[in-house]
Amino acid sequence: MATDPQPALAASPGKEPRTARGRATLRKLLDAAAKEFGELGFHAASISGITRRAGTALGSFYTYFDSKEAIFSALVRDMSQSVAEAAVEAMPSGVWGVAREREILAAFLVFARQNKEIYRIIDEAEFADPASYRAHYQDAAARIAARLDESVQQGQVTPGDNEVRAWALMGMNVFLGLRYGVWDESRPTGEVAAAIEALLRDGLAVR
């Protein structure tokens, strides 16, 4: 499994936890922040709401974060990394190209169903933390382009404009996750992924 260069838990600078217990508290704060921001939105969310949900003292919050803005940015990075890790875990070894993209989409649809608040939080970053919003999508597109480059090397995907293709695949996955993950679970994830596999394998045109 590939490792991500970003640290798993991002506290404010100089406030990184040094013990397992500290990392556990930081994890609790991030999980509580996901609920608080997901339910209330950035403006209505509060630090006291986060510590109440986490079951920690207010002082613990400031041990790791400087502000509400700081934990929101850390949460966006944390969620961005969860999406990346879910994709890595879904990748069968020795499989490239279209079949690999199908597996990753199917796993992402399941992930979106299990983590519905992620859309609201990342989408709100467009307003509350534009730099993190842009970084989330630029990083995800770069990972997809790297997968496509590898698949071209493996002779599974035709050479082409992998940057444009990556942004297209990312957009597909984001909107399919919204439609068939967050909004409506009535269609089997495998069925949606199979339709996209067919599209990516053969295109749409009658030959």
CA 60 from centre of chain: 26
Q: How far is the CB of 169 from a copy of itself (least distance, A)?
A: 8
Interface with a copy of itself (CB under 8 A), residue from 104, 180, 181, 189? 180
- Binding flag, residue 90, a copy of itself (CB under 8 A): no
Q: Rule CB under 8 A: say whether 103 interacts with a copy of itself.
A: no
Nearest to 97 by CA among 35, 144, 44: 144
Q: Which of 16, 31, 170, 190: binder of a copy of itself (CB under 8 A)? A: 170
Give the orientation angle of helix 189-202 with respect to helix 162-177, to 10 degrees. Answer: 160
Determine the Cα–Cα distance for residues 132 and 73; give it in Å rounded to an integer: 7
Residues in the chain: 207
The answer to whether 50 and 33 are in contact (CB under 8 A) is yes
The Cα–Cα gap between 41 and 44 comes to 6
| Residue 188 binds a copy of itself (CB under 8 A) | no
Q: Does 168 bind a copy of itself (CB under 8 A)?
A: yes
* Residue selected from 24, 58, 146, 164 as contacting a copy of itself according to rule CB under 8 A: 164
Options 10-18, 63-71, 79-87, 122-130: segment touching a copy of itself (CB under 8 A): 122-130
Report d(CA 141, CA 162) in Å as an integer.
Answer: 10
Interface with a copy of itself (CB under 8 A): 41, 43, 97-98, 120, 123-124, 126-127, 134, 137, 141, 148, 151, 155-158, 160-161, 164-165, 167-176, 178-180, 183, 191-192, 195-196, 198-206
